[in-house]
Structure 1
């Protein structure tokens, strides 16, 4: 199949592009900078890079022409709610103009529950736009990503032996490995008829802060302690993020992991500790003062 992947040089888009290429599909990646090292790696794997951005409707329309499916990840929180909605409309209109292409949009779990969290509400608005345009689509709703621990501040704290999260230590948190999401998105694209018109929420594992810290300690081979980051510190950086962590602390996502994993065992859902061994083992064993 021919698939356009937007944001293919980012974490989510890159994971889906690599997953599709590994499964023998033809990937066209929309890239802002043709010389980007991430784009170069995708070219080595067989992807076609098309220059353009989600702010340029014509470039998106050109990229979407002739493809069987379009994968678009919701914008990161730093992009802002207005950009999220604008980009969603541009992609949805391009897919509709392409005629018959299957749009796979990565929103966020619980976006349809009226949480009041700004970036959740922006993604909900994109979902409504897609529905209003009548575009053949599947909506994926990921929960909190395990890859959040790869952010520089989180990595620095872990190297100092601290797992710092703006949630109480006893609070359960559902999490998703990006590779699991990529495999699921590839499955959706390959089995279009089974998933058209569906909204599916995705989660790999669920554990409390104490359980996650114990897992990180086992991976590190040394003690990692938990530290609850004051919500005021988060609010000073982003009211949007603070609203999300307030909501997560009150219960947050409620994906039925057992049912999801039983329905789609081929994904090989990742446990948090296994993900940490793959992505964090090196960083955790290099302690800093």
Structure 2
């Protein structure tokens, strides 16, 4: 990652929640790349992730998302804010509580525009716990007097580099708990950041509404073949029974929902309007630096 300071050419100041994580970090990258000033909340100024932000010119405030005063400081005087929530590590109830606290703080600070990154399908009663928790946050935001846009990403391409894929006896094997002929909408995390930055900076057609961002739609079998082509290896897809991941309740519910098509309903045209160079899956593989042959056997 580029750690150099990006000269600011834009006087606007945008707060980013989750700046030390992958998705929030992608928003920081996109905003700094456009010369915009960024403010982020961190727990520890001396932590490596915080130091990497500081070196790049990000304004840091110290605090915690569960502390109202910390959120008030984060949002004080900003021109816009990006926020996201995650069920890790506290679970979906804590995720909703944190999201509501963020929404309330944005309203108190009269943030001119709040972009909340939720999830594709949040509004469609999916029954997936970490989708429903984000919907509760959306509902809170909708109830408040704060100008907002909902960014709803579909499945992260980046997740396929962390699980589901292994190399066994010289062959790429992709395993997921869904039939191999059902398409899955996907998006690169970096493109979520670019889409968020475009909305935050204003002038987009989706501002004040919601957009389900997606860069590609491939079946499990097509995903396996794309990874195999990237690795220069033969590939196969194996559909796991849903029972194989039943102990992971949230994940199991998500894959159950994937089979109830249409599940994700990515707006490819709107995504491309926000991110003209949005990546399809093969392009993400080529640019990611990920080598599946280096992944541990699953």
- Provide TM-score, normalisation by structure 2: 0.88
Q: Could you tell me how far 1:244 is from its partner in structure 2?
A: 0.8
In structure 2, the CA distance between the partners of 1:159 and 1:2, relative to structure 1 (3 Å rule), is farther
Q: Does residue 32 of structure 2 align to residue 12 of structure 1?
A: no
Q: Could you tell me how far 1:176 is from its partner in structure 2?
A: 0.8
Q: Is contact 1:18-1:42 (8 Å) kept?
A: no
In structure 2, the partner of 1:247 is 257
In structure 2, the CA distance between the partners of 1:278 and 1:197, relative to structure 1 (3 Å rule), is same
Q: Does residue 57 of structure 2 align to residue 49 of structure 1?
A: no
In structure 2, the CA distance between the partners of 1:72 and 1:21, relative to structure 1 (3 Å rule), is same
Deviations 1:85-124 (A, max 9, x none): 1111111111111124311100111111111111111111
Q: Does residue 292 of structure 2 align to residue 284 of structure 1?
A: yes
Task: Give ranges in structure 1 of 5+ residues lacking alignment.
Answer: none
> What secondary structure does 1:16 align onto?
helix
In structure 2, the partner of 1:232 is 243
RMSD: 2.0
Q: Could you tell me how far 1:209 is from its partner in structure 2?
A: 0.8
In structure 2, the partner of 1:80 is 91
In structure 2, the CA distance between the partners of 1:31 and 1:240, relative to structure 1 (3 Å rule), is same
- Provide TM-score, normalisation by structure 1: 0.91
**Aligned equivalents of 1:71 and 1:265: distance in 2?**
16
Q: Which runs of 4+ in 1 moved over 3 A?
A: 76-79, 192-196, 285-289
> Larger % of helix: which?
1
In structure 2, the partner of 1:124 is 135
Q: Could you tell me how far 1:51 is from its partner in structure 2?
A: 1.3
Q: Could you tell me how far 1:287 is from its partner in structure 2?
A: 7.1
Task: Give ranges in structure 2 of 5+ residues lacking alignment.
Answer: 1-11
User: Number of residue pairs matched?
Assistant: 283
Deviations 1:232-274 (A, max 9, x none): 23221x21111110010121112242x3255x06431101011
**Aligned equivalents of 1:266 and 1:116: distance in 2?**
30
**Aligned equivalents of 1:219 and 1:66: distance in 2?**
46
